[in-house]
Structure 1
Amino acid sequence: MEKIGKVASENGVVIFSKSTCCLCYAVQILFRDLGVQAVVHEIDHDPDGKEIEKALTRLGCNGPVPAVYIGGKLMGSTNEVMSLHLSGSLLQLIRPYQQTLSSHD
């Protein structure tokens, strides 16, 4: 879906989310704690939400939310993001989008 690509490519870190999803909230907090100001797109507040949800599932998100994009590329849902974080790979991916953090360098 064009809307997903547009939002994902225009922002560094994008989380497609639902306002009632606790896993979505956990992923948002993870990025916040890592110093990233992610763009959160609440699909349950979007008139095209059902189509976005279907498109995210077709793109390979098993969920379909949260769906995390970094640098315009789909990283996946909670499991994929947490696996990247635990392996240390997530920090490399988000480095260009991190705000300066005191004493975390």
Structure 2
Amino acid sequence: MDRVNDLAFKSVAVIFTKSTCFMCHSIKALFYDFGASHAVYEVDHDVDLECALWSLGSNIAFPAVFVGGKYLGSTKEVISLQIDDILKRKLIEAKAIWL
């Protein structure tokens, strides 16, 4: 869990993904479209990192998205934030994007 927190705070936006997950690709594309400064960690070959993510709670799904060190959720939550025009504000507040 400490490793996840360290990585989540290392960048203003962090996406934990799996390389074969098409929804992970969609969320990465959304962040790229925003021009967001973010880090991507693929957990496919890092069992310890994947276990550390699972230790955060049973609701962790991939992609696991953190902004400003806070867990936003997975695809459903991030898309909901985007539809409600909240995601952009969160990215601006975390200084992941500038206007």
Question: 8 Å contact 2:9–2:69 — kept in the other structure?
Answer: yes
Choose 1 or 2 for highest CA Rg: 1
State the identity %: 36
Structure 2 length-normalised TM? 0.88
Look up the equivalent residue of 2:13 and give its one-letter code: V
Cα shift at 1:59: 6.0
Residue of structure 2 in register with 1:80 after alignment: 77
- Does residue 65 (structure 1) correspond to residue 62 (structure 2)? The answer is yes
Aligned residues: 97
Question: 8 Å contact 1:43–1:53 — kept in the other structure?
Answer: no
Per-residue CA deviations over 1:67-86 (Å, capped at 9, x if unaligned) read 00000000000000000000
Question: 8 Å contact 2:14–2:40 — kept in the other structure?
Answer: yes
Residue of structure 1 in register with 2:38 after alignment: 38
Residue of structure 1 in register with 2:25 after alignment: 25
Structure 1 length-normalised TM? 0.83
- Which has the larger share of helix? 1
Alpha-carbon distance in structure 2 between the residues aligned to 1:45 and 1:8 = 19
**Cα RMSD between the aligned structures?**
1.6
Alpha-carbon distance in structure 2 between the residues aligned to 1:14 and 1:50 = 14
Q: Which runs of 5+ in 1 are unaligned?
A: none
Residue of structure 2 in register with 1:94 after alignment: 91
Cα shift at 1:39: 0.5
Residue of structure 1 in register with 2:55 after alignment: 55
Alpha-carbon distance in structure 2 between the residues aligned to 1:50 and 1:35 = 27
Cα shift at 1:47: 4.2
Residue of structure 1 in register with 2:6 after alignment: 6
